[in-house]
Amino acid sequence: MLWCLLLLALAARGDAWLFSCGSSDFHCNNGNCIPASWECDGEADCTDGSDEASCGGKAVTVATKASGDQIEYWFGPVRITQYRTWFGFESSRIEHGSGGGTCQQGVHFFCANGQYCIDSNWVCDGDNDCGDMSDEQNCGGGGTTDPTAPVVPFTGDCGSPAITPQNVRVVGGVQAVQGSWPWQASLKLYGSHVCGGQIIAPNWIVTAAHCVDGQSNPSSWRVSLGSHRRTSTDSTQQDFNVVRVIMHESYDSNQINNDVALMKLSGNAEFNNYVSPICLPSTDVAADTPCVTTGWGDTGSGASTYLMQATVPIMEWNKCNGRQYMNGAITDKMICAGYDQGGKDACQGDSGGPLVCNYSGKWTLDGIVSWGYGCAQAYKPGIYTRVTQFTSWINNKMATN
């Protein structure tokens, strides 16, 4: 069952820091704190908007609704209301306020949905201001329909993307730069994306066992590598049939324990700057380490069209397993990542995908999206398969199959 598919664990970027403010931090008017470098960066990191209120930029004035579910930005006569989704404040409605104003060629950008116009400076800034991503397409990064860099052979090591990931420090879910997470795989059951996975060898994908539970017939599956769009074919894409599905022998569907599986591809992937492997970890990732999870899962209004990414911290195991959080449901085969306040998560379609961390100079696959209680709930972080517990199993299965 893919009903509990889980949490990209993205928590709201605003006021994310739960520790005491340091002398170098920016103090939000509501008493919270953020890194000083986030002030006047065009993102309302404080939920009261105080970090952007006096910057003269996108958020000239920010008013937070009492419900906490939406934020209003005013830019001259234009009002932008952002509503909370699974990936945070990113579903926007842009309209004229009482001050009037008209969309002007050269001053504003006309969104493809025909409903909104936005300031032209907001085009290709990494934010979904139009709500349909039309302001972020053909930008030389996330949202492009064709690669912005030619396909070239990959000569680096695992966990070393040739195309550098952007906005890694952004806690809220954002569209990934095309090709920047080159190990990401889309697992398609009868032609439709249902789970994520990651390439760890030229013809091997690692994913979650619950993705293939009851669906172990290899002929039912196809794997796409080098994809950026979920339902369209990218020019960088490599597609493979599956010749073997190996689910962990001790997978427990009740506990969702030992939630790991392998898929052997029908051929070897061609490693290039859009397709390359992730490293397996040799040690457990430390608590509070910021890691990145990616996928095409449900964002609250349906599955994402483009590959999304979000940064989440590893949660200390005992804290995660405490009564207020997961209440004893976490085994030693699991790790947790996310924020106390929830607000961002991974949902249906992200299962089996990666939680990658970079604490050793390379990205390593420290977690596999596994399960969670609902999506984006407070005190209910995303639960991931602890990959260090399965590196021997993975290597043995690849060697003997």
Catalytic residues: 210, 259, 351
**Count of residues making up the chain:** 401
CA distances from 385 to 26, 159, 197, 251, 354 (A): 35, 18, 12, 11, 10
Tokens of 202: 């030229």
- DSSP percent split of the chain into helix, strand, coil, nearest 5: 10, 30, 60
Cα dihedral value 30, 31, 33, 38, nearest 10: 30
Report which DSSP code applies to 285.
Answer: P
Dmax over CA atoms of the chain, in Å, equals 70
Question: 300 exposed, middle or buried (CB, 10 Å; 0-12, 13-18, 19+)?
Answer: middle
Question: Among residues 84, 2, 123, 66, which one has the least CA distance to residue 343?
Answer: 84
Tokens of 264: 């052997």
Element (H, E) at 393: helix 391-400
